[in-house]
A and B are shown apart, each in its own frame.
Chain A
Amino acid sequence: MSSLKASNGVVDAIWKLLASIQLTIVLLMSLAGTSIIGTLIPQNSEPAAYVAAFGETLFRFFSVLGLFDMYHSWWFQILIVLLAANVVVCSADRLSAGRRILFVRQPAYQAARFRSLPDREAFTEERGPEILRALYEPYVSRKARAVHIETTEDGFRMFGENGRWTRFGVYAVHLSVVLLLIGGLIGSIFGFDGFVTIPEGDTVQQISLRSTGERLRLPFAIRCDDFDVSFYETGAPKEFRSSLTLLENGRPVLQKEIIVNDPLRYQGISIFQSSYGTVPSREAVLSFTSRGTGMVYTQEMKVGQEAHLPENLGTFVLAELRHQTQFKGHPVGDAFIGRLTTPDGTAQEVVLPIRFPTFDRMRRGEVVIAVDQFKEKHYTGLQVNKDPGVDVVYSGFILMILGCYVTFFRSHQQVCVEAVRKGSGALVTIYGTANKNKASMQRRIQRLAIALKEMK
Chain B
Amino acid sequence: MTSSVLLSATTFIYGIAGFLYCFAWVFKKPGAGRLASWVTLGGLAGNTAGFILRWVESYRMGFGHAPLSNLYESLIFFAWTIALIYLFIEWRYQNRVIGAFSAPLAFLTMAYASLSPNISDRIQPLIPALKSNWLIAHVITCFIGYGAFAVAFGVSIMYLLKSRRGEGEGGLVGRFPPTAVLDELTHQLGMFGFLFLSAGIITGAVWANSAWGRYWGWDPKETWSLITWFIYATLLHARMMRGWRGRRIAWLSIVGFGAVLFTYFGVNLLPGLHSYQSMGQ
Contact = CB atoms under 8 A, between A and B. Distances in A.
Contacts of B218: 38, 43, 71
Contacts of A273: 128
B194 A28 contact: no
Interface in A29-43: 29, 31-32, 35-36, 38-40, 42-43
A256 B70 CA distance: 31
B206 interface: yes
Nearest to B256: A32
Contact of A39 (B125, B195, B207, B267): B267
A400 interface: yes
A49 to B, nearest CB: 12
B157 interface: no
Interface stretch (B14-22, B82-90, B103-111, B236-244): B236-244
A28 B234 contact: yes
Interface in A250-292: 259-263, 270, 272-274
Interface string B182-213: 00100000011011001100100111011111
A234 interface: yes
Contacts of A190: none
Contacts of A193: 213-214
A40 B220 CA distance: 8
Interface string B88-116: 00000000000000000000000000000
A91 B95 CA distance: 39
B131 A261 contact: yes
Interface stretch (A17-25, A131-139, A329-337, A339-347): A17-25
B55 interface: no
Given A237-B127, A397-B202, A35 B195 contact: no
Contact of A21 (B198, B237, B267, B270): B237
Interface bin, chain B: 35 or more
B195 A238 contact: no
Contacts of A240: 128
A390 interface: yes
A260 B224 contact: no
Contact of B195 (A263, A393, A404): A404
B233 A28 contact: yes
B202 A32 contact: no
Contact of B205 (A42, A71, A239, A397): A397
B227 interface: yes
Nearest to B131: A261
B270 A40 contact: yes
A408 B131 CA distance: 33
Interface string A395-412: 001001100110011000
Nearest to A274: B212
Given A237-B127, A272-B213, A28 B237 contact: yes
Contacts of A263: 210, 213
Interface string B138-177: 0000000000000000000000000000000000000000
A184 B223 CA distance: 16
Given A28-B230, A260-B131, A232 B63 contact: yes
Contacts of B259: 32
A260 B271 contact: no
A397 B206 contact: yes
B242 A383 contact: no
Closest 8 CB pairs of A and B: A32-B230, A260-B128, A408-B191, A39-B220, A272-B213, A385-B213, A21-B241, A261-B132
Interface of A: 21-22, 24-25, 28-29, 31-32, 35-36, 38-40, 42-43, 71, 184, 193, 232, 234, 236-240, 259-263, 270, 272-274, 383-385, 387, 390, 393-394, 397, 400-401, 404-405, 408-409, 439
21 contacts: A24-B241, A32-B259, A35-B223, A71-B223, A232-B125, A238-B125, A260-B131, A261-B128, A261-B131, A261-B211, A263-B213, A272-B212, A383-B212, A384-B213, A387-B214, A390-B209, A397-B202, A397-B206, A400-B202, A401-B195, A409-B191
Interface of B: 63, 124-125, 127-129, 131-132, 184, 191-192, 194-195, 198-199, 202, 205-207, 209-216, 218, 220, 223-224, 226-227, 230-231, 233-234, 237-238, 241-242, 259, 267, 270-271
Given A21-B237, A238-B128, A261-B210, 5 more contacts: A24-B241, A32-B230, A35-B223, A274-B212, A387-B214
